[in-house]
């Protein structure tokens, strides 16, 4: 796991940015299923700054992975041919959309159908961003990462982490009780369960698959053996994150349980990302 910490900036980015983005999926579901009062909407908009900040902190962390932050603009030179450049482009588009949404919402000029349409676009961009974040790791030269399961798990992380965070936003805004009276409860339950399944299955199958790989210097079985305990910790955190979110959606200490779910999701995703980097296995020296 020591080698994984060399990728700490990217681990933080792929933990925080997708999770913060996923919260906008929860908010979209809330606005599409619930009629909030003007006062509730104002409070929700103020609290929406929380997931936006989570996303921005993730992007800031990613800059520390560069030899020099001044080189960041050159990442866009590979748009269309580089998965990494495509990820940054899609991520930038999402950030701009989310930032504009929050700013316009805070001005009080976003109402009715316009709000529903805008937040739906932001939520869709969040899902696309999570998928492109996974696609950035599909490399022919790194067999342990080159799998569609990498995309599956990143999407799962965004949903299993974003749903408790978005639900927490509603709770802190004093609007969750009303949301739970409508179809938000069922929609959110489905999304968080699907997110947990995608995260756990995508993560576990991808990591365990590394056990069948090897090159001239490294055995995939040894790599997997070294991270097994961390894999178990990540899975346990995903289960607890989903359980906390479900409890919140069932009205049991909603703010506290949503907060618990969000914390468990952060821990689980971060540990999973470290495991992902720890099982990196190149094909450059394959037998």
What share of residues in the chain are helix, strand, coil (percent, to 5)? 80, 0, 20
Q: What is the pLDDT of residues 73-104, one digit of tens each?
A: 555 555 655 566 777 889 999 999 999 999 99
What local confidence, expressed as pLDDT, does residue 220 receive? Answer: 83
119-134 residue pLDDT tens: 999 999 999 999 999 9
pLDDT > 70 in the chain, percent = 89
Residue 284 forms part of a structural domain: no
pLDDT of residue 83: 63
pLDDT at 66 over 60: no
Rounded mean pLDDT, 41-60: 96
Kindly state whether residue 42 falls inside one of the protein's structural domains. Answer: yes
Question: Residue 46 sits in a domain of what CATH number?
Answer: 1.20.1630
The pair phi, psi for residue 214, each rounded to 5°, is -165, 160
Classify residue 287: in a domain, yes or no. Answer: no
Determine contact, residues 155/198, Cβ cutoff 8 Å: yes
Query: Are 156 and 202 spatial neighbours (Cβ–Cβ below 8 Å)?
Result: yes
So what's the pLDDT on residue 192? 97
In a domain, 222, yes or no: yes
User: How confident is the model at residue 287, as a pLDDT?
Assistant: 39
pLDDT score of 5: 64
Residue 153 lies in a domain: yes
End-to-end Cα, the chain, rounded Å = 25
Q: Quote the number of domains for the chain.
A: 1
> Which SS3 state, helix, strand or coil, does residue 218 take?
coil
When pLDDT is averaged across residues 253-272 and rounded to a whole number, the result is 97
Q: Is residue 217 part of a domain?
A: yes
In a domain? residue 51: yes
Task: Give the pLDDT of residue 3.
Answer: 63
pLDDT at 86: 78
pLDDT for residue 188: 97
285 occurs within a structural domain:
no
pLDDT of 218 reads 82
Q: Is the pLDDT of residue 243 over 50?
A: yes
- Using DSSP, state whether 80 is helix, strand or coil: coil
pLDDT at 36 over 80: yes
pLDDT score at 78: 53
* Residue numbers of the domain that contains 248: 3-278
Q: Which of 70-84, 101-115, 140-154 has the lowest mean pLDDT?
A: 70-84
């Amino acid at each position: 796991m020591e080698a994984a910490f060399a990728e700490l900036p990217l681990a933080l980015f792929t933990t925080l940015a997708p999770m913060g983005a996923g919260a906008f999926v929860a908010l979209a579901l809330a606005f599409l299923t619930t009629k909030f009062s003007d006062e509730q909407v104002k409070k929700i908009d103020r609290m929406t700054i929380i997931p936006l900040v989570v996303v921005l902190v993730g992007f800031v962390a990613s800059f520390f992975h560069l030899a020099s932050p001044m080189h960041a603009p050159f990442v866009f030179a590979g748009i269309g041919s580089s998965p990494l450049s495509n990820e940054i482009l899609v991520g930038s588009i999402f950030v701009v959309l989310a930032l504009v949404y929050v700013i316009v919402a805070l001005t009080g000029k976003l109402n009715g159908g316009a709000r529903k349409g805008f937040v739906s676009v932001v939520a869709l961009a969040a899902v696309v961003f999570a998928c492109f974040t996974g696609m950035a790791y599909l490399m022919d030269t790194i067999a342990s990462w080159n799998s569609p399961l990498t995309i599956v798990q990143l999407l799962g992380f965004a949903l299993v982490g974003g749903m408790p965070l978005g639900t927490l936003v509603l709770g802190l805004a004093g609007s969750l009780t009303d949301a739970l009276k409508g179809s938000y409860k069922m929609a959110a339950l489905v999304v968080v369960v699907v997110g947990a399944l995608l995260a756990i299955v995508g993560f576990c199958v991808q990591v365990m698959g590394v056990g069948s790989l090897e090159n001239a210097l490294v055995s995939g079985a040894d790599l997997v053996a070294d991270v097994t305990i961390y894999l178990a910790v990540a899975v346990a955190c995903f289960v607890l994150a989903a359980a906390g979110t479900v409890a919140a959606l069932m009205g049991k200490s909603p703010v506290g349980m949503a907060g618990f779910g969000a914390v468990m999701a952060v821990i689980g995703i971060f540990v999973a990302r470290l495991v992902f980097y720890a099982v990196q296995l190149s094909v450059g020296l394959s037998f």
